């Protein structure tokens, strides 16, 4: 078996994506892009003695998605009760291999680990195009919504409402929310955020579990207008501006 050194990558994978600093995110991208991971494959023959053996990646079904499993090292590989055959492949070579793989939805790294990471295929390709602009590093991945959606943000105290100026709340920091209404439902105050069509968001759902982490990121200076007090603990807001993208 191939011995791989992905210690730094594994350490970075322990950090939840929405909690990564710019430096940590850039380190993760750098490590991931140059990494060589173990890819389970199916070996087959074309029944032609003059042709070499060929292979194709093993795929698995996970939550209705077709995934390609990858492993950082032999230790992680053994946890997953792996197929017999694996190859060590650089991520740039995997990217080239998957350019036209329309049937693949995402890749999954260390699927039996406590720190499993899933990356949808478009985000995987995007990692090879990340710019080192300190003003938009993770928001290069932001995409406009194709329809209005609601996301949710909980607080121990209703600070959004208290800090709003003339009914408008905004923060200089990136804003984290969840598509799961019941995420952290032990926290008493619920802010329901209406994101109109074309609001730019970074969706992390392909990389993290929405049951345990916020999966929506909004750029700094996103403005929310207070709409109504639905009940004692529930406030309704609407996104009305994203100054971050004005330039």
- Which pLDDT belongs to residue 52? 59
pLDDT digit string, tens, across residues 128-179:
764 444 445 577 678 899 999 999 999 999 999 999 999 999 988 889 899 9
Q: Which token pair is 45?
A: 């023959």
Residue 212 has pLDDT above 70, yes or no: no
- Residue 139's φ and ψ, nearest 5 degrees, are -80, 0
The larger pLDDT score, comparing residue 201 to residue 172, is at: 201
In this structure, the number of other CB atoms found within 10 A of the CB of residue 102 comes to 8
**Average of per-residue pLDDT across 62-79:** 86
Residue 6: pLDDT band with limits 50, 70, 90: very high
- pLDDT of 247 above 80: no
The pLDDT of residue 192 is 97
Domains for the chain: give ranges and CATH numbers.
7-129 (3.40.1350.90), 142-245 (3.90.176.10)
- Secondary structure, 3-state, the chain: CCCCCCHHHHHHHCCCHHHCCHHHHHHHHHHHHHCEEEEEEEEECCCCCCCCCEEEECCEEECCEEEEEEECCHHHHHHCCCCCCEEEEEHHHHHHHHCCCCCCCEEEECCCCCCCEEEEHHHHHHHHHCCCCCCCCHHHHCEECCCCEEEEEEECCCHHHHHCECCEEECCCCEEEECCCCCCCCCCEEEEEEECCCCEEEECCCCCCCCCCCCEEECCCEEEEEEEEEECCEEEEEEEEEHHHCC
Look at strands 200-203 and 143-144 and give their pairing.
antiparallel
Q: Does the predicted TM-score (pTM) go above 0.85? A: no
Range with top average pLDDT, 52-56, 137-141, 218-222, 235-239: 235-239
- In 3D space, the residue among 90, 88, 192 whose CA is nearest the CA of residue 149 turns out to be 192
- What is the pLDDT, as a whole number, of residue 1? 47
> How many C-alpha atoms does 31 have within 13 Å on its Cβ side?
17
């Amino acid at each position: 078996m191939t011995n791989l050194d992905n210690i730094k990558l594994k350490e970075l994978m322990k950090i939840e994506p929405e909690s990564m600093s710019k430096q940590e995110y850039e380190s993760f991208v750098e490590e991931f892009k140059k990494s060589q991971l173990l890819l389970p494959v199916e070996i087959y023959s074309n029944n032609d003695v003059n042709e070499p053996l060929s292979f194709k990646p093993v795929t698995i079904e996970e939550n209705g998605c077709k995934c390609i499993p990858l492993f950082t090292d032999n230790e992680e590989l053994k946890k997953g009760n792996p197929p017999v055959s694996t190859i060590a492949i650089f991520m740039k070579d995997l990217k080239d291999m998957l350019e036209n793989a329309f049937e693949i939805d995402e890749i999954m790294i260390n699927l039996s680990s406590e720190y499993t990471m899933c990356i949808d295929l478009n985000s995987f390709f995007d990692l090879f195009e990340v710019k080192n602009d300190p003003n938009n590093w993770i928001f290069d991945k932001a995409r406009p919504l194709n329809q209005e959606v609601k996301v949710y943000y909980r607080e121990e105290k209703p600070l959004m409402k208290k800090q709003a100026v003339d009914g408008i709340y905004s923060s200089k920091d990136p804003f984290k929310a969840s598509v799961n209404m019941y995420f952290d439902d032990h926290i008493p105050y619920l802010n329901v955020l209406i994101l109109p069509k074309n609001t730019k968001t970074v969706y992390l759902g392909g990389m993290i579990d929405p049951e345990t982490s916020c999966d929506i990121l909004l750029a700094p200076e996103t403005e929310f207008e207070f709409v109504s007090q639905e009940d004692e603990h529930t406030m309704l807001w609407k996104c009305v501006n994203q100054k971050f993208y004005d330039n």
